[in-house]
Amino acid sequence: MNKDNNSLHVAVRALVEFIYQSGDLTSAIFSNLSGAEGTRLHQKVISLLEKEYPDNIVQSELQHHTIVEFEEFSLSVSGRSDAILFPRTPEDEDAYTIVEIKTHNRLYDKYEELYHEVHMAQAKAYAHLFLLENEALNQIRVQLRYYSANTLKSCHETIVLSRVELESFFNTTCKLYLETVKRRFDYIHARNRSIRGLEFPHLDMRDGQKQFMSETLSAAKQKNILLVQAPTGIGKTIGVLYPAVKSLPHQWFDKVLYLTAKISTRASASKALNQMRESGLFIRSIVLSAKESMCPCPDIYCEPSKCKYALGYYDRQKEALAELLLTDALDAGIVKVVADKHVVCPHELSLDASESTDIIIGDYSHAFHPRIRLDRYMTEAEFPHFILVDEAHNLVDRSREMYSASLSRNHFIAFKFIVSGLNPRVEGHVSDIIEYFSCLEAHLIDNDPAFPYIEPAVDNKNVMITDNFRATTTPPKILYASLWRMCFHLAPLLDRLPETYDAKAIRNLFFEARFFLTILEYHYDSSYIYTAKRLISAKKDDAPDDFILTLACLDASSKIAKTILDRHSAVFFSATLSPMQYYRFMFVGNDHDYTNELILHSPFPAENFAVGVYTKLSTAFKEREWTKSAIADIIEALSHKNGHYLVFFPSFRYMDMVHRIVESRTRPSEARIIVQTPEMSADGKASFMGEFERFDDRPLIAFAIMGGHFGEGIDLIGDRLNGVIIVGAGLPQISPERQILLQYFQEKFSDGFAFAYRFPGWEKVLQASGRVIRDESDVGFALLIDHRYDKNEYRSLFPEHWQFQTLDSTQDVLDFIEKQ
């Protein structure tokens, strides 16, 4: 919904859904098609229509728009019709047909079972808009057509409606809509008034913050992409949200989507909004949570026959929404209480409520995940949004994960038992897939390229071979065919599975397989690789051995760019976007000239942060045995100083080697030593952090992992943390997957090592060193130990505000620590 003083803008789909949607939340019939799949199917359907109506010209995706005036309000309505059949002779008035297309998952096609009033209402709305644009026509054929996504068979109904009938239908719909959403005008007026009077909520504006806000404002206005490196202390959350809020009355975009990688960062965004509320801002916002965390009945699945919160959802949704929207700052807790009272699905209610808010705080996946993203804002977007990506450095790995898909052999073996007796074809295809896994594994154990034996399109020369791992750029056609057939026969059964079957497990694997197909069909390109990997458990109580097939996305920048460019504006910001060029390539690629960059300097006095660089000790894997004792000597020096220290390592194994030595040499009376463990529980993490709140006569030496839980996102102000020692350059461990990234970026940018190892490692070093100075009065040090730091490619990455000293001997290092 877009808004002016007394005008609203609404998409046709949202308009008719608001008025005519009724009954149950969803069923498996219409719910399995992602935006990309829907688009591809739509193209196929259009060509079928062309064959069926050779006497007509079929035009699809035509844009329509009108403005309806009602009392002192006006409603601007727009949308794209699926298809219009034009007669080859324009005078043939009876031959104009509006076609509304819906695709479903069933094999068969009984129109009465598929029909929903809201679908026909959408067709009628487009028919009316079309007649407004074609004054000579007095009537039109309105066709609602259901296509099976599996068979592409269709059923339909066609009715003929006159101009008068359609006008009456459309005006009544708009009137009903406006009457219901009138309150929204009051909200918008009050919101805009409060925004115009809103002052920046802090007395002083920090250095760089003003520039950040001004660039954010211009990105919003010009529909640009802005990358900002904003060090700790700039006040980046309020710095980006304040101009975003101030922009709302200008209508450059509809909503602000504030996206984070972690739940804790969402709290900072809510806090910044609340600070503005305390300064007089009146605005509605919502923090979205994952479906799993909101669902009151996680053991069942989203099917009206199983879930009382889905059954008749739309019959109770409006009342629940009205109650919910009495609150300005919505979150999962509030939504759950109201949803429970009205017996509606809390997750769906939160999404529906988000349509009436201006600020949506959520996860990266809400905008970028090909399956989870909010179609209502991203795929079917009628209006641009302003996307704010916090701690954006995390998006590099997250975007790769979001666009990758994996299948586990163990899941299919378990699935075979679960579907036993359900359908012979499904069972047959599941057996074929298990056989596929077995054949690949057998060849892989035999140490041959493996893929060509089962995927004839794969060339021996095009297979990367390492222990228990194979990779090829050729997509798996044989696997695709078996998976597709399995899904084809399984999909129609999903909404009527016999009670004796574990419906949730069946659906889970179906969606896993469907996602794999979606990645293959719509996303697999030169940025992908197909891999097979044997997972062998190291210990008895580990997860059992498995065999994993993965469509691994090496670089999702073109996908992110496609989501944003030409549609939305965006700000990607973080304390560590260095080097900026690397992140630009990783976020949106290098082909766009409407990306702006801003590097801000730390607002804190540079002299408060001492940086020592010691390059005489190697931390390379093969040298660690020789250098561990010397590194332990340096860490041990901390036990003779007061204060709290974090010592970061690139891996648990390495940390363990050094930690053992330090602990064996340090008496408990000399220092408190704590250490991060793998798979640390929430209580364990809290107790680790709790040690920094305790002050006694002994220094605290905390061992932790770079890039791990304590490597970023923790705030230890003042004497809670006095310094860090960073052992190594943070390079990711060498693995076949990393080596593939190296090769990919070598071909793309001629500097594979930098993109696959150096830059991701440097991000962790910067994050770890960034734990020390958290406010203007903080004083502390960072000591970097690694032989690579004397090289130019590293020195050029050091932030400008670092006044670092190069230390030439262990004695220099000990003196450096002593002086701090």
At position 399, the amino acid (one-letter code) is S
| Cβ nearer to ligand SF4, comparing 126 with 309 | 309
- Closest distance between ligand SF4 and the C-beta of residue 21, in Å? 15
What does the block give as tokens for 809? 């001997």
Residue 160 in 3-state DSSP? strand
| Cβ nearer to ligand SF4, comparing 45 with 307 | 307
- Closest distance between ligand SF4 and the C-beta of residue 347, in Å? 5
CA-wise closest residue to 178 among 317, 65, 75: 75
Residue 234 in 3-state DSSP? coil
- Closest distance between ligand SF4 and the C-beta of residue 26, in Å? 8
- Closest distance between ligand SF4 and the C-beta of residue 317, in Å? 12
| Cβ nearer to ligand SF4, comparing 339 with 674 | 339
- Closest distance between ligand SF4 and the C-beta of residue 291, in Å? 5
- Closest distance between ligand SF4 and the C-beta of residue 309, in Å? 4
| Cβ nearer to ligand SF4, comparing 300 with 505 | 300
Instruction: Count the Cβ atoms, other than its own, within 10 Å of residue 196.
Output: 9
- Closest distance between ligand SF4 and the C-beta of residue 297, in Å? 5
Question: How far apart, in whole angstroms, are the C-alpha atoms of residue 579 and residue 396?
Answer: 13
At position 696, the amino acid (one-letter code) is D
- Closest distance between ligand SF4 and the C-beta of residue 350, in Å? 10
**β-strand partners of 359:** 256, 285
Q: What are the counts of helices (DSSP H) followed by strands (DSSP E) for the chain? A: 29, 27
Dihedral sign for Cα atoms in the order 554, 740, 705, 782: negative
- Three-state secondary structure of 305-336: CCCCCCCCHHHHHHHHHHHHCCCCEECHHHHH
| Cβ nearer to ligand SF4, comparing 121 with 295 | 295
| Cβ nearer to ligand SF4, comparing 156 with 504 | 504
- Closest distance between ligand SF4 and the C-beta of residue 344, in Å? 8
Query: Residues near 735 by Cβ (< 8 Å), separated by ≥ 6?
Result: none
- Closest distance between ligand SF4 and the C-beta of residue 366, in Å? 16
**Cis geometry, peptide bond prior to residue 579 (ω within 30 degrees of 0):** yes
Per-residue burial over 411-445, b = 16 or more CB atoms within 10 Å of its CB, e = otherwise: bbeebeebbeebeeebbebbebbbebbeebbebbe
| Cβ nearer to ligand SF4, comparing 25 with 257 | 25
- Closest distance between ligand SF4 and the C-beta of residue 295, in Å? 3
Question: How far apart, in whole angstroms, are the C-alpha atoms of residue 784 and residue 612?
Answer: 6
- Sort 543 into a burial class: Cβ within 10 Å, 0-12 / 13-18 / 19+: exposed
Instruction: Give, in order, the Cα–Cα distances in Å from 400 to each of 464, 619, 765, 769.
Output: 20, 29, 21, 26
Question: How far apart, in whole angstroms, are the C-alpha atoms of residue 447 and residue 441?
Answer: 10
CA-wise closest residue to 296 among 286, 283, 305, 306: 306
| Cβ nearer to ligand SF4, comparing 249 with 296 | 296
Interface contacts to ligand SF4, rule CB under 6 A: 25, 291, 295-297, 300-302, 307, 309-310, 345, 347
| Cβ nearer to ligand SF4, comparing 349 with 392 | 349
CA-wise closest residue to 560 among 396, 319, 793, 390: 396
| Cβ nearer to ligand SF4, comparing 257 with 302 | 302
Residue with the two structure tokens 């008749």: 312
Question: How far apart, in whole angstroms, are the C-alpha atoms of residue 666 and residue 584?
Answer: 46
**β-strand partners of 67:** 76
Instruction: Give, in order, the Cα–Cα distances in Å from 636 to each of 725, 812, 819.
Output: 11, 15, 15
- Closest distance between ligand SF4 and the C-beta of residue 333, in Å? 16
Q: φ and ψ at 59, to 5 degrees?
A: -120, 135
- Closest distance between ligand SF4 and the C-beta of residue 320, in Å? 13
**β-strand partners of 472:** 463, 530
Of the CA atoms within 13 Å of residue 307, those in its CB half-sphere come to: 28
| Cβ nearer to ligand SF4, comparing 291 with 318 | 291
| Cβ nearer to ligand SF4, comparing 296 with 312 | 296
Query: Residues near 662 by Cβ (< 8 Å), separated by ≥ 6?
Result: 632, 635, 636, 673, 701
Q: Pairing mode, if any, of strands 528-535 and 546-553?
A: antiparallel
| Cβ nearer to ligand SF4, comparing 25 with 395 | 25
- Closest distance between ligand SF4 and the C-beta of residue 349, in Å? 9
| Cβ nearer to ligand SF4, comparing 291 with 411 | 291
| Cβ nearer to ligand SF4, comparing 307 with 647 | 307
Q: Pairing mode, if any, of strands 569-574 and 609-614?
A: unpaired
What does the block give as tokens for 200? 């920046």
Question: How far apart, in whole angstroms, are the C-alpha atoms of residue 651 and residue 657?
Answer: 10
- Closest distance between ligand SF4 and the C-beta of residue 620, in Å? 50
Question: How far apart, in whole angstroms, are the C-alpha atoms of residue 795 and residue 778?
Answer: 25
| Cβ nearer to ligand SF4, comparing 300 with 599 | 300
Instruction: Give, in order, the Cα–Cα distances in Å from 810 to each of 468, 610, 612, 725, 806.
Output: 42, 17, 12, 14, 12
| Cβ nearer to ligand SF4, comparing 362 with 650 | 362
- Closest distance between ligand SF4 and the C-beta of residue 354, in Å? 15
- Closest distance between ligand SF4 and the C-beta of residue 364, in Å? 21
| Cβ nearer to ligand SF4, comparing 372 with 465 | 372
CA-wise closest residue to 162 among 144, 126, 138, 143: 138
- Closest distance between ligand SF4 and the C-beta of residue 339, in Å? 8
